[in-house]
Amino acid sequence: MKKLHIFLVLFLTAPILFVTAQDTVYFKNGLMANGLHRYGREALYTDLLAYQLYNNTLQQPRENSIAGVNDEQQEIKWVAVNADSLNSFRMPRQNDVRRQGFFNSGYLYVTYTADKERTALLNTKGGSSVYVNREPHTGDPYASGWLYIPVKLKKGLNEFYIRSGFRTTASLIFPVKPVSLNTEDPTLPVIALQNNNASLQGAVVVINTSSKPLQHVKITSNVAGNEMVSDLPLIPAMSTRKVPFSFNAGSIAQKGMHEMKLLLTDGNKTLDEQHISIEAVEQGESYSNTFVSAIDGSLQYYALTPQSGSGTANAALFLSVHGAGVEAIGQARAYKPKDWGTLVAATNRRPRGFNWEDWGRLDAMEVLNIAKKKFNPDPRRIYLTGHSMGGHGTWFLGATYPELWAAIAPCAGYPTLKAYGSHDGKIPDSTNSLTEKILLQAGNQSDVIKLAENYRPLGVYIFHGDSDRVVSVNYARQMKKVLAGFHPDFAYKEYPGGSHWFSNESVDWPPLFNFFTSHTILPDSAVNTIDFKTSSPGISSSYRWAAIQQQILPLQFSRIQLNRNLAAKTITGSTQNVQTLKLAVGQFGKGASITITLDSLAPLRYSTNDAKDSIWLQKQNDQWQIVAATGAEQKGPQRYGTFKEAFSHNMVFVYGTKGNKTENEWAFNKARYDAETWYYRGNGAVDIIADKAYHTDQYAGRNVILYGNASTNAVWQILLNDSPVQVSRNHVSAGANAWSGDDLAVYFTWPIKNSVLNSVGVVAGTGIKGMNAANANQYFAGGSGFPDYMIFRLDMLRDGSKAIELAGFFDNNWKMDVKNQAGSK
C-alpha cells in the first residue's frame, strides 16, 4: 500500500471517516441497527428494513433514530459504530447489542459522497448482502475477501445498507481499467507430473465495470511458452463472471509452483494481463482435476489421493466430503495413500457451499460418477466418509442413497442442520400454521433421523473426539442410540481427549478403514428384502429393484417394505405414502408368472418378459393396479419439483424487457443479484440474457429461470401459457384463486413442454413492490425448503407467514391440488 491520506467528510447524518490508499476507500464510521431481520434456511423471511425500503418509507438513518420495532414492541435504534485499525466494524458490547444478535440480524449503514457519477468495485467482508442505492447485491458472509461487486455511484450521497455479520469490513475500489481479470478466486487443477497435462482447464473471474456487455473476448494462456486461446461467454454490463479457459502445462516437469500468464483481449486490444501460479506434484501425491458441471456449465474440481502400489484390479473407491471452510484438495491431503483403493474428495461447490445438500449433494454425485468412470473400481467396494459438516454430509448422503455404499463413516459429524444450529432460525416443528407446515414439508429431505432405516443395509462406523467443542460428541451418541434400536452392523468409537481436529487421524483413522475392508455391496440378486424411505422421489427414489415413482402426499415421507421370494415367485410387503411404484422383475426369469401382494390388498399377477423387465404399479381407489410407465409429462424422479429444482440442467437466467423502466431494471438487477449469489455460494456461472434473446431451439435441454411476469417478460407466453399459476401487472391467479394488488410476489416451477427433464423457475411480482419482495434468494441456502409454488405479499417481510396467500405442491399431473396447499384464505 502507498502513503495513506486521512480526511474527514461531514454529512447531515453521522460523520463518516475514510482512509484512502491509491484508489481504495475504506469505510470507517457508520450506523448500526439490530434485530431488523430473520433470514434462515427456509422460504419464509422477515426484514423490517427491506420492508420500509420497498414501501418507500425508510428514513435516512441518524444516530439514535428509530429503525423499527421488534417482536417485543421495543424500539430498535441506530447506534454509531467505528471501524477498528483493521477497518472492521465489530459488534459493540454496549447497548445490549450482543443479546440482540447483531451478527445475524443487524444492518450496518455507511455512506459515500461522490463528486461525480462514477463506477466502483464494492468489497464487503462479513455481510451476507448489501443494498447500494436500493439495488440488491450479494455479500461475503464468510469474509473470503475475493468478492468485488461493480456498482454505479451517483453524484452526491450514496447509501449502503449491509446486512451484517459479527465483523464487517467495507471498501470501495476505483478501478483503473473498465475490464479486468481477478485471479484471487481461481479454479485450477493441481497437476500430477505423471499425467498428460497438455490440455487442461482453469477458471478465473472477469470483472466488467463498463456500461456495455462484453462479447467476443478471449483469454490467451501461456505456460512455459505454450499458448492456448479460449473464447469466453458473454459478461453483462456492470457484472462479473467466472469464465473457463484452457491451458497447456505439458512442459512442466518439476514439482512446485509454476507461473501462467493470462491475457484478456477483445480483438487486437489487450484489456488486462495477469499472472497466476499452478502447482505440480509428484507421482503418488494428492492432486486435483477440473470438470464441467452439468448443473450450470461452470468449471468445478475434485481432489484425489491416488492408490499406492500397482495392484488396481478390484480396487475400492472412497468418497470423502469435507468440513466447513475446507478445500477439497486439503481434505484429500489429510489421507495417506491406501494400497487397496483411491480416495476422491468433492468440493460441495465451495468450502462451505450447501452443507452437502441441494447442489452440494449433486456435486458429490457428479464427482462419484466421474471417479467411477475414471478409476473403474470394484462396484462392490464403494465407501463414504467425511468430517464435521462432511460428517453431516456422510449421514445425509448415506441415508439419501443407501444403495451406493458398502459402508459409511461420519467423523465429528452432526445428523441434521436444524439440530446443530445451522438452520438459522428455521420454523419450529411444533408450528400450528398450516402454511408453515407446507414450507417445512418442502425441507423434509434434510431430516436424516427420519430416514435412519435406510442405514440398515450399510456398515456404519461412527467416530468422534470426546472433547470436541465445535460439534458435540452428543451428536455421535444420539446416532449411536438411534442405530442401536435396529441396526445389526455398526461400530462406535470416541477418541479419548479428541478435539474437533486432533490430527489427520481425525479422518484417516486406521480402524475406520479396517472396518471398510470387511464390507461390500451385495448384488441385487442377493437382496430380497427392502426397507427404504424417501421424502422426495426427485431426490432419492430407488433402492435396488424397487423405486418410488410418485407420492400420494408430496414431500411427506414415503416408505416401502418389501420381500421377494424368487423360488415362490412372489413379492409381498407394505407401502406408506406411495402412489406409483416401479419394480424390476427380471430376476424371476423370462416367462415367470409372479404374484405381487401389497398392503394386504388384492394380489396382482404378471408374466415377466425378459431379464430387464420392469412393471409399474399404481394405487387407485385403495387398490393396486398394473399400469403403463409414468410419462414424462407427469411428475417422476426425472422432474418432481420443487421450485429449487429448476436451478439445474445448465439453467439460463432470462430477464424481462417488456415492462416499464423500473420493472425492466428490477428484472436485470434481480437476475444479476442471483448470479452473484450463485457464484459466491456455489462457485457457479450462469448465462444472463434478455427475453428477446431467448429461443427454444438455441436453449433446448436447459432449464430457465424467468424474471418478471406475463406483462413484462416475453418468454412467459412461450413457456408458461399453460401454467395454472399466472402473474401479470396487479394480478395473480392460481387455479380457482385470484388476488389483486401491486405488492404480490411469486415463486413457482413449471415443466417445459416437450421436454423430459427441463423446468422453468419463476421469480415474479405484480408490481415493483411485489418484485422487490421476491428479491431475497434464500433458495440458495443449503437445506432450505421451497414448495412448488409460493404466493405472498410484501407484508410477509413484516408479518411473516400471515402474509403468504398460498403455498403448496402440484399433483402428479402438474395440476393444482387443494389437498396439498395452504394460505391465508
pLDDT tens digits, residue range 677-709? 999 999 999 999 999 999 999 999 999 999 999
Distance CA(146)–CA(70), nearest Å, equals 34
Rounded to an integer, the average pLDDT of 662-673 is: 98
Q: Is 701 exposed, middle or buried (0-12, 13-18, 19+ CB in 10 A)?
A: exposed
**Res. 71 pLDDT band, cuts 50 70 90:** confident
pLDDT score recorded for residue 427: 57
432 vs 361, which has greater pLDDT?
361
> Residues of the chain with pLDDT > 70: what percent?
94
pLDDT score recorded for residue 811: 97
pLDDT score recorded for residue 10: 27
Residues 6+ apart with CB under 8 A from 811: 554, 635, 817, 820
pLDDT digits (tens, 9 = 90+) for 483-530: 999 999 999 999 999 999 999 999 999 999 999 999 999 999 999 999
Structure letter (DSSP) for residue 404: G
Rounded to an integer, the average pLDDT of 782-811 is: 96
User: Do 32 and 39 contact (CB within 8 A), yes or no?
Assistant: no
Rounded to an integer, the average pLDDT of 438-450 is: 92
Of 672, 681, 692, 663, the C-alpha closest to 764 is: 663
Distance CA(41)–CA(132), nearest Å, equals 24
Structure letter (DSSP) for residue 522: P
**Res. 314 pLDDT band, cuts 50 70 90:** confident
Distance CA(542)–CA(369), nearest Å, equals 17
pLDDT score recorded for residue 40: 80
Distance CA(268)–CA(260), nearest Å, equals 21
User: Do 136 and 775 contact (CB within 8 A), yes or no?
Assistant: yes
The C-alpha cell at 272 is 488486462
**Res. 123 pLDDT band, cuts 50 70 90:** very high
- Rg (alpha carbons) of the chain, rounded to whole number: 27
pLDDT score recorded for residue 363: 98
723 vs 101, which has greater pLDDT?
723
pLDDT digits (tens, 9 = 90+) for 35-49: 899 888 888 899 999
User: Do 371 and 304 contact (CB within 8 A), yes or no?
Assistant: yes
601 vs 13, which has greater pLDDT?
601
Range 359-365 contact pairs with CB under 8 angstroms and sequence separation of 24 or more: 359/295, 359/647, 359/648, 359/682, 359/782, 360/393, 360/782, 361/396, 361/397, 361/400, 361/539, 362/295, 362/648, 363/293, 363/295, 363/300, 364/319, 364/321, 364/393, 364/397, 365/401
pLDDT digits (tens, 9 = 90+) for 230-280: 999 999 999 999 999 999 999 999 999 999 999 999 999 999 999 999 999
pLDDT digits (tens, 9 = 90+) for 11-40: 223 333 333 334 899 999 999 998 899 888
pLDDT score recorded for residue 169: 95
**Res. 734 pLDDT band, cuts 50 70 90:** very high
Distance CA(485)–CA(382), nearest Å, equals 26
pLDDT score recorded for residue 660: 98
pLDDT score recorded for residue 165: 73
The C-alpha cell at 784 is 432450505
pLDDT score recorded for residue 3: 30
Helices 359-375 + 389-400 axis angle, to 10: 80
Q: Which amino acid is at 644?
A: K
pLDDT score recorded for residue 424: 42
Q: Is 486 exposed, middle or buried (0-12, 13-18, 19+ CB in 10 A)?
A: exposed
User: Do 461 and 491 contact (CB within 8 A), yes or no?
Assistant: yes
- Average pLDDT of the chain, as a whole number: 93
Rounded to an integer, the average pLDDT of 623-641 is: 95
Of 362, 394, 395, 402, the C-alpha closest to 534 is: 402
424 vs 776, which has greater pLDDT?
776
595 vs 632, which has greater pLDDT?
595
pLDDT score recorded for residue 92: 59
Rounded to an integer, the average pLDDT of 149-172 is: 94
Q: Is 785 exposed, middle or buried (0-12, 13-18, 19+ CB in 10 A)?
A: buried
Task: Decide if pLDDT at 627 tops 90.
Answer: yes
User: Do 673 and 775 contact (CB within 8 A), yes or no?
Assistant: yes
pTM value is 0.95
Q: CA of 428: how far to CAs of 42, 143, 418, 486, 783, in Å?
A: 11, 29, 9, 28, 15
